[in-house]
Homo-oligomer: A and B are copies of this chain.
């Protein structure tokens, strides 16, 4: 069964994050045996996305226009800028329905162990974006992981040096939690940040 274009397909599927040899084989088998229409749709969607999707000139999220729909939305509160790591994080914030300001999407986070430094995520672009004279508060909403915290720390220092007001999402006990099942670090933060 060693056929060239089947092997090439398995190899290409393996480049997807979280897909190993077995998964790639199963995917290729499924597409060829049961869903050739899906394979063709995926092929076309990849082509269209690679050609059409780039970064918003203002907030760096993915868009097909020069500016994304959020940046173009005149009803947004332009004095607030919320910084997230990824478009998925931005989508999660939007789903809360409780934020009406603008965004800046880093498209990554500092990962010194993997060689991703300040120059590799959009820090300089963020500093320029936040210094437009309109933004008054930059809300740091990078993840509460070691790398996300380090990124927030570096950004906070750089933004404060420019005289901008910087805040961070609150840490604390998640909604619906019983205290006995909350991890110790979260509990300690919830205690020290009590209000």
Contacts and interface: CB of A to CB of B under 8 A. Distances in A.
A48 interface: yes
A45 B10 CA distance: 9
A119 interface: no
A88 B11 contact: no
Interface residues of A, number: 58
Interface of chain A, helix or strand or loop or mixed? Answer: helix
A144 interface: no
Copies assembled:
2
Interface in A12-36: 12-13, 15-18, 22-23, 25-33, 35-36
5 contacts: A2-B69, A3-B53, A16-B27, A32-B50, A42-B43
Given A3-B63, A12-B46, A18-B23, 20 more contacts: A1-B70, A1-B87, A1-B91, A1-B105, A3-B64, A4-B64, A5-B45, A6-B64, A9-B48, A12-B38, A12-B42, A16-B31, A17-B26, A17-B27, A18-B26, A18-B27, A39-B50, A40-B47, A42-B46, A43-B46
